[in-house]
A and B are shown apart, each in its own frame.
Chain A
Amino acid sequence: MNVLERVLTTIRFEEPDQVPVVLFPEWDFLADLYDVPLRKLLNDPVLQIKAGNKMREMFPDAFIATGVWVPYAEATAFGCKLSDPEDEIPGIMEVAVKSVEDIDTLEVPDPYQDGLLPRYLEFLKVQKREAGQVLGVGGFGPVELACEIMGFTQFLRLISIDPERAHRLLRVTTETVKTWFDTMIDVIGGSALLALVSDHTTGFLRAEKCTEFFTPYLKEVFDHLRGKVSIFLYHNENYSAHVLDQIAEFKVQIFHCGEIGDLRRAKEATYGKYTLMGNIHPRDVMLRGTPEMVEEKCKEVIEALAPGGGFILSVGGGVSRKIPLEHIEVLIRSAEKYGRYPITGK
């Protein structure tokens, strides 16, 4: 079985030959790997593709999930201004929604006109031309996008002091995300094997707030895209143990997770509903740990989450800068060593 076959088997809750490994390199990691300044990489789709391919060559036994990216393109479409550091991921320096009243006049941006979205579409076209096909598309979810364009503190405050306006903003961002994914999928050929939606806001909201301000909007996005996408992946390495049941409502195949609390309880709560992908800690284990610690953690996670399928070994988040290549190798080898089916678990 190749790694993609393993993934397709495990998401059906069947047992592949071994636990699949999927890795999401961060752009700073790829810049270092390809030995180019990050700013240069982020401005050049061909370099991005080449850097991703280099990682694929180095780690052929893992599925390396990377394509092209323009930082915070969705937020710039609303008018957010980004920082422009030489060798770091840019961040949002100036939000678009400066007062709650701004929400009342906010409109869904045009992907072909606004901010960096047209540039992103150009990058996707380059990827299609260079690689022959584009397997997947990705972007921020509606709640995270609301936080980005208003500022996290201000939006999280808004849901308490003016919930009606918070919903109004979320309506706009939800329509934006739906339109944006539609447009990306059109550009790559009308359908996608994979769509990744990244929204970390569960880590800031208790379960009942998620029920009102998070889950319905994410669900709407996934429901909208059904039919155009084969595999849905929800990405969120932030704390999510309190909303594992709500994530089931998205009807996604894969949840790329980080902090999910007790692993066995998480397995019980999710098995048969969606596949967990994760959750080796990127900082404490992958970056600061030892090879022995990486192996031990992989073993522990595999034993808890892999029995019966429905599990993909990954870093709980992206593979970020300075993570030793040796640790990535150990993670991949641990899937071979401890992840051969049948796995009975402990």
Chain B
Amino acid sequence: MRGDVFGRMVKAIVNLDPQGARLIAQEAVESGVPPMEAIKAFSKGLEIVGELFERNEYFLADMIMAADAFKEAMDVLRPHIRGAGGGKGRIVIGTVKDDVHDLGKNVVATLLAAEGYEVYDLGVDVPAEKFLEKVKEVNADILGLSALLTTTMERIREVIGKLEEEGLRGKVKVIVGGRPVTPEFAEEVGADGYGRDAIAALKVVKELLEGGK
């Protein structure tokens, strides 16, 4: 019986069904399924979606719906997780100055929030100073920087430089992503992590916060 519930959880994500995901999560809570087990099943769905995306069978529109479905389920489950809403980590995220693209960044922010991180999405066209201000204000664990243009990706370097100048670099991990950004570029600018897509970004955050400290 429970196996069936878990199977339907996976399916709700893979079928990109936010409403279905919420209903199954509610059903799971009501029937006493341990929330962490449910999260594992929903996460498995997300993993499959990530694989389908890698194989060009799913596209960004599908990722958006998968992230929405995952978020719906997490909204139901989170209040039932002991100790939830606190120590998972604080993440400041945004698209760098002069760049107003937000598609990938939005999916990353949704997934991170759904996973229970405290996400502060600063939006697009964010100046370095604003990133620094927010990082200080919320004592962020991770700063996520996105750029979609070859010209604006250099702003990532500027933000990291400013973190160093302000003595904040050692206090916050920096992850980077966006269409023109490559692992080589991430390494070159001294980022701590690179996410090729939203699922990869989520993995990197988990590694940095849960495995890397």
Number of chain B residues whose Cβ lies closer than 8 Å to a Cβ of chain A: 27
CB neighbours (8 Å) of A151 from chain B are 102
Number of chain A residues whose Cβ lies closer than 8 Å to a Cβ of chain B: 30
Q: Does A241 contact B (CB under 8 A)?
A: yes
Q: State in angstroms the CA–CA spacing of A93 and B95 once bound together.
A: 12
CB neighbours (8 Å) of B60 from chain A are 156, 203-204
Q: Smallest Cβ distance from B11 to chain A, in angstroms?
A: 16
Q: Smallest Cβ distance from B65 to chain A, in angstroms?
A: 5
* CB closest residue in chain B, given A202: B59
Which of B61, B106, B124, B151 has a CB less than 8 Å from the CB of A204? B61
Q: State in angstroms the CA–CA spacing of A265 and B16 once bound together.
A: 31
Q: State in angstroms the CA–CA spacing of A88 and B148 once bound together.
A: 13
Q: Are B65 and A204 in contact (CB under 8 A)?
A: no
CB neighbours (8 Å) of B99 from chain A are 88, 91
Q: Are B59 and A157 in contact (CB under 8 A)?
A: no
Q: Smallest Cβ distance from B126 to chain A, in angstroms?
A: 12
Which of A83, A156, A282, A320 has a CB less than 8 Å from the CB of B64? A156
Q: State in angstroms the CA–CA spacing of A91 and B125 once bound together.
A: 9
Q: Does B101 contact A (CB under 8 A)?
A: yes
* CB closest residue in chain A, given B155: A88
Q: Which of B107-148 contact A (CB under 8 A)?
A: 107, 124-125
Q: Smallest Cβ distance from B84 to chain A, in angstroms?
A: 26
Q: Are A242 and B56 in contact (CB under 8 A)?
A: yes
Q: Are B100 and A283 in contact (CB under 8 A)?
A: no
Q: Are B98 and A206 in contact (CB under 8 A)?
A: no
Q: Are A153 and B103 in contact (CB under 8 A)?
A: yes
Main SS at interface, chain B: loop
Q: Are B64 and A153 in contact (CB under 8 A)?
A: yes
* CB closest residue in chain A, given B110: A153
Q: Smallest Cβ distance from B103 to chain A, in angstroms?
A: 4
Which of B59, B62, B68, B100 has a CB less than 8 Å from the CB of A83? B100
Q: Which of A91-134 contact B (CB under 8 A)?
A: 91-93
* CB closest residue in chain B, given A201: B61
Q: Which of A277-292 contact B (CB under 8 A)?
A: 282-284, 287
Q: Are A91 and B59 in contact (CB under 8 A)?
A: no
* CB closest residue in chain B, given A92: B100
Q: Does B26 contact A (CB under 8 A)?
A: no
Q: Which of A57-116 contact B (CB under 8 A)?
A: 83, 85, 88-89, 91-93
Q: Are A157 and B68 in contact (CB under 8 A)?
A: yes
Q: Are B65 and A153 in contact (CB under 8 A)?
A: no
Known: A153-B103, A157-B64, A160-B65. A321 touches B98 (CB 8 A): no
Known: A157-B65, A160-B65. A93 touches B56 (CB 8 A): no
Q: Does B30 contact A (CB under 8 A)?
A: no
A-contacting residues of B (Cβ < 8 Å)? 16, 56-62, 64-65, 68, 98-103, 106-107, 124-125, 149-152, 180, 182
**Further contacts, 4 of them, CB under 8 A, given A153-B107, A159-B61:** A151-B102, A152-B102, A160-B61, A241-B56
